[in-house]
Amino acid sequence: MARVTLNYWKQPLAAIPAEVWTAPDLTDLVLADTGLTTVPDAIGRLTSLRLLDLGHNAIAALPDAIGDLAGLTGFLYLHDNRLTRLPETLGRLRRLAYLNVGDNPLEALPEAIGRMAGLVELRADGAKLTALPEAIGDLGALRYLTLRGNGIRLLPASIARLPALRQLDLRGNPLAAWPEAVQHLPALEKLDLRWVSLPPAPPWVDALRARGCLVYL
């Protein structure tokens, strides 16, 4: 199917333009850096969307209808907004490959994120997270997990169940202990623990390096 794009990047908007709702075959909608503060329930009608960019706005909440976007197979950008929570309906986006929720005052990710089976990259830098849900371990396709600059002290044991994870970025988190679970990640190629205060490295860190994993401390 041909791509049908509407791009409003950096155009000041009080609301999503009316022409969006009359484009049933719309595949790419860019509303980044437009000053939007709300997203209406009608967003769920855009079932042909493959990419939705809502980044760099002032959006404080997402409607449950975001979960109706079953066609989202590419990118969902939600970073740099005012989101304090993500709707559980995100779990219905099972074919989405990339999700960026960074730079929001979230504090937590929903358990439903574990149902996003197609997710390859999850970025949550600077999202005020203090923990991750156990369901994170259900993301069997996940290759890149970026959690820089949060308040995470411990990783759930379920992290060890991510067979495809290649890169894990934990920079600048106040980890209370070495994340033991990561030693069991068979595909891990890069572990970034810079700006993290930890005791001397345990033997499994050397074992990771010996198999070719880059470990940054």
As a CATH number, domain 1-107 is 3.80.10.10
Q: In whole angstroms, what is the distance from residue 212 CA to residue 1 CA?
A: 41
Start-to-end Cα distance in the chain: 46
pLDDT band per the 50, 70, 90 thresholds, residue 135: very high
Same topology, domains 1-107 and 130-217? Answer is yes
Convert the pLDDT of each residue in 179-193 to its tens digit.
999 999 999 999 999
pLDDT band per the 50, 70, 90 thresholds, residue 36: very high
With 70 as the cut, is the pLDDT of residue 213 above it?
yes
Residue spans per domain, the chain? 1-107, 130-217
State mean pLDDT over 113-120: 98
- Contacts from 92-99 at CB under 8 Å and sequence distance 24+? 92/67, 92/68, 93/66, 93/67, 93/69, 94/118, 95/70, 95/71, 96/72, 97/73, 97/121, 98/74, 98/123, 99/123
Convert the pLDDT of each residue in 148-203 to its tens digit.
999 999 999 999 999 999 999 999 999 999 999 999 999 999 999 999 999 999 99
Q: In whole angstroms, what is the distance from residue 165 CA to residue 145 CA?
A: 8
- Contacts from 32-36 at CB under 8 Å and sequence distance 24+? 32/56, 32/57, 32/77, 33/9, 33/57, 34/8, 34/9, 34/10
Q: In whole angstroms, what is the distance from residue 81 CA to residue 57 CA?
A: 5
Q: Confirm whether pTM is higher than 0.85.
A: yes
CATH architecture of 130-217: Alpha-Beta Horseshoe (3.80)
Residue 1: predicted pLDDT: 64
